[in-house]
Chains A and B, each alone.
Chain A
Amino acid sequence: MRGLERFVDKIIQEMESGKEEREDIKEEMLTHLTQARDHYLAEGYSKKDAELKAITSFGYPHELGQEMQEAMYPFQKQLLNFIGIGTLIIASFMYLSFMITHGATENIWLLVQCTFGFFITFFSINLSIIQDRLWLVNTAVFLVSLNHGISFFLAGNLKNPTNYISFLMIVLLIVACVMYLFRNAWLHSKIGSTNRKEMLYKRAIHLINLLLGTLLGAFAIFMSWGILVFTGVTWLVLVPLIVLGIWGLIYLAQYKIARNHPMASLLFGILSFIGVGILGVMFYS
């Protein structure tokens, strides 16, 4: 039996599913394999050979795992990979451009780019790491999209045509990040909910919070850039980040209480959206 379990584990490794989902799929495939093995046992094969025949008839585990991943979360792995590698490519391109035209780069920005680029690429190749830590990938993608916003302003200091090439790549990446985050919310709420009502509430919460996050993110980018330009790297840059941190915590809180108190959670979301809107209006007047 353990041989069959190890085989199914290899399949599950290729998927970004949460715990409950993985257990269900594992159970379903194991019952299939056990029945197949018992069939071969009845035909006279030894226990070891019966297990081997059941496994061979089932297929190649990595291929099967990837097909399951594509069936449940189409294109997400590829998007994540694109974001990771794209980040590294832009970092290299802008680094070279800066070194050629200015002889120096923004080291902190470069460090952030490379770290995120590396980790996101790594996650996209080893989905099993993010299986129960989807929030980690989502946060990384969100933060890297903010950093790309900063990249956009930085690229303004480059000469033609390297600045335009950079602008294009950065915009593509930011769009990819937004697509990834929204699709993640959509796909995982479809699959992880026990009933339709719960799914709809979860989707509404995701939509409100992601829209809010996009607005706050854009605001944070502009603010950070302004602060960096006028005062340099000071603690003031932390202010927009703290605002985003608060948004993140409220989002998380809503998500946690959504399962048992969907109505309350949704109201909470709408209120926070309105609250931020009011703050925004006050800020401008």
Chain B
Amino acid sequence: MDKELVRGSLDILMLSLLKHRDMYGYEIVKELKEQSNELYNMSEGTLYPALKRLENKKWLHSYWTETLNGRRKYYSITEDGEQALQLKLNDWNSVHSLIHKTSGGFK
């Protein structure tokens, strides 16, 4: 997978995943890898600066939970986050249709 393309879509990917349920860092990476059939090959660590940025924009909210293996930091999407996700998805779909048209339909 083109790394630059994935990097630019990281925000949408994370917001989409967290819309379904709260997750912690490692879980998010695992989901991305599973759902992409291992095509997702970005450095796992880049998740964390992205999570911080989304949290600063108040699109995500984080909380610690005690588990058998120690503390885990879970992330959940906020209302603002859901709105931002919807806007981004709209943009994404517009780009998708444009590419579809200009390439004469996918081969």
A binds B: yes
Please tell me if the beta carbons of A60 and B71 are within 8 angstroms of each other in the complex. Answer: no
Interface of B is mostly: helix
**Cross-chain contact B49 with A27 (CB below 8 angstroms):** no
User: B34 to nearest A CB, angstroms?
Assistant: 13
A25, B25: Cα distance in complex, Å: 11
Residue numbers in A under 8 Å from B50 (CB-CB): 71
Stretch among B38-46, B79-87, B97-105 lining the A interface: B38-46
- Beta-carbon nearest neighbor of A30 in chain B: B70
List residues 176-201 of chain A with CB under 8 A from any CB of chain B: 190
Give the residues in chain A near B49, CB-CB below 8 Å: 64, 67-68, 70-71
Chain A 1-30 near chain B by CB (<8 Å), digits 1 or 0? 000000000010000000000001101110
| CB under 8 Å from chain B, chain A span 81-99 | none
Interface size on B, residues (CB 8 A): 18
Q: Are B73 and A28 in touch, CB under 8 angstroms?
A: yes
Taken residue by residue from 51 to 64, chain B's Cβ proximity to chain A (1 for < 8 Å, 0 otherwise) reads as 01100100000000
Would you call A67 and B46 a contact (CB within 8 A)? yes
Given contacts A71-B52, A71-B53, A72-B52, A32 and B46 within 8 Å (CB-CB): no
Q: Does B69 contact A (CB under 8 A)?
A: yes
Interface residues of B in 1-49 (CB under 8 A from A): 25-26, 29, 43-46, 48-49
Q: Which of B29, B45, B71 contacts A64 (CB 8 A)?
A: B45
Between A and B, how many residue pairs show CB distances below 8 Å?
A: 53
Does A204 have its Cβ within 8 Å of any Cβ on chain B? no
Closest CB of chain B to A32's CB: distance in Å?
Answer: 5
Q: Is the CB of A29 within 8 A of B52?
A: no
Please tell me if B88 contacts chain A, counting CB pairs below 8 Å. Answer: no
Q: Which of B25, B56, B72 contacts A72 (CB 8 A)?
A: B56
Q: Which residue from chain B places its CB closest to the CB of A38 in the assembled complex?
A: B69
- The residues of A that contact B72 with a CB separation of less than 8 Å are 31
Chain A: CB-nearest residue to B41: A57
User: Nearest-CB distance from B71 to chain A (Å)?
Assistant: 6
Q: Is the CB of A58 within 8 A of B43?
A: yes
Q: Is the CB of B44 within 8 A of A57?
A: yes
Contact partners of A71 in chain B: CB under 8 A: 49-50, 52-53, 56
A32 CB contacts on chain B under 8 angstroms: 25-26, 29, 44
Whether B48 and A29, one on each chain, are in contact in the complex, defined by CB atoms closer than 8 angstroms, is yes
**Nearest Cβ on chain B to A58's Cβ, whole angstroms:** 4
Q: Which residues of B contact A (CB under 8 A)?
A: 25-26, 29, 43-46, 48-50, 52-53, 56, 69-73
What are 9 A-B contacts defined by CB distance under 8 Å? Answer: A28-B73, A32-B25, A32-B26, A57-B44, A60-B43, A64-B49, A68-B49, A68-B52, A71-B56
Interchain residue pairs A-B with the least CB separation, the first 3: A59-B43, A59-B45, A67-B49
